[in-house]
Amino acid sequence: MRHALRLTIRTALAAATVFAAASLSAQDWTTTTDTHRFMEVRNGIWLTQTTAQVFNSNALVIVNDEDVILVDSHVTPSKARDLIASIPAITDKPVTALINSHYHWDHAHGNQEFADIPIIGHEYTRMKMATGAHEEPTYQRGLAGNAARLEQLAEQIEAAEDDEERAGLETYRAMFAAHAADFDEIRPLPPDVTMNEKMTLFRGGREIQIIFVGRAHTGGDAVVYFPQDRLVFTGDMLFGGPSFMGDGYVDEWSETLGNLAMLDFDLVVPGHGPPLSDLSAIEKSQEYYRVLWEKTAEQHAAGVPAEEVPGTLDLSGTAFPERQPSEPEVQRMYHRMENPD
């Protein structure tokens, strides 16, 4: 029954878990606290993830000669506080700056816990976070997802076949309910230091470049590049597979990835999931976005409603033939086709 319980909880998590931490083996995480796991990916650059089984993003902890810089602040102020409390497990140096890769709630809604240090981001990220961040459709879908998850768990508890399974689900639901309640304290705090094309930070012997290589996942994706370490943090611009496209620029994404590839790196840390050393993910993603845009444009030209497109596109010529766009993603592409800029 323990196996059945694990499967039930895994099913409950599947809809919101992207490239789960389970894809990394236990030995990859060299330091673990009550709330976070850390992996040194290269020369004092640490990937960290929350240990809570909730939808969240990667953060980067950059331990320099005299200070620490963070990239992305997690999904809620509560998760950000957990991160702050966990950093002393790897260093006692002070956190002196935060970089936002983009404005999405799972990456930047812990910002308010860093109000006393500079927060750096693209001009577009500041604009989106300073003007109605709570009303953003992507954020509203996140809230709706929380509510749906709680309802789903309640149904599973009701249908549980024995006490052990029911107890496990009730424990998970209590944890998730607390996480959902954490959203109530979110007060979006935009970057107070902005860049448009490039900003370079020098910390002791380390050079950190914050670069806009083009529009992709959002209109203000900032990649964080470490030329000496040949490493780049890409946020949600690049994963091992296609990213969420509901706020994206699919028509420009392939070109943006081409611009990214011009940097000299051999390791990618994405906004979700494990580091990528197989850089063929760039070309595979470029081809996917090109084909997806072409196939969706055909449907748009034929007058097919956006809600009828998901599940119908022939993406067999790509590396990700099963990754059909959702209705919000098709709606976004239709909007780009009708409102090019």
pLDDT at 116 over 50: yes
Mean pLDDT of 28-52: 95
Q: Compute how many other C-beta atoms are within 10 angstroms of the C-beta atom of residue 227.
A: 15
> Angle at which helices 280-301 and 250-261 pack, to 10 degrees?
160
**Chain centre distance of CA 108:** 10
Taking only the tens place, the pLDDT of each residue in 176-219 is 999 999 999 999 999 999 999 999 999 999 999 999 999 999 99
25, pLDDT greater than 90: no
User: What are the distances in angstroms from CA 256 to CA 60, 259, 282, 312?
Assistant: 22, 5, 10, 27
Q: Taking the domains of the chain in order of start, what are their residue ranges?
A: 2-134+187-195, 284-338
Q: Which helix (H) or strand (E) element contains residue 137?
A: helix 137-159
pLDDT, tens digit, for every residue of 279-337?
999 999 999 999 999 999 999 999 999 999 999 999 999 999 999 999 999 999 999 99
- Superfamily assignment of 2-134+187-195 in CATH? Ribonuclease Z/Hydroxyacylglutathione hydrolase-like (3.60.15.10)
The average confidence (pLDDT) of the chain is 92
Note the pLDDT of residue 27.
Answer: 58
CB contact set of 34 (below 8 Å; sequence gap of 6+): 51, 86
Q: Quote the CA–CA distance of 315 and 292 in Å, as a whole number.
A: 7
CA 3 to chain CA centroid, nearest Å? 29
**Looking at residue 55, what is its pLDDT?**
86
Nearest to 196 by CA among 221, 217, 216: 221
Local structure of 199: helix, strand or coil = strand
Ranges assigned E (strand) in the chain: 31-32, 36-42, 45-50, 59-63, 68-71, 95-99, 119-122, 193-195, 198-203, 206-211, 223-226, 231-235, 267-270
Q: Is the pLDDT confidence value at 166 over 70? A: yes
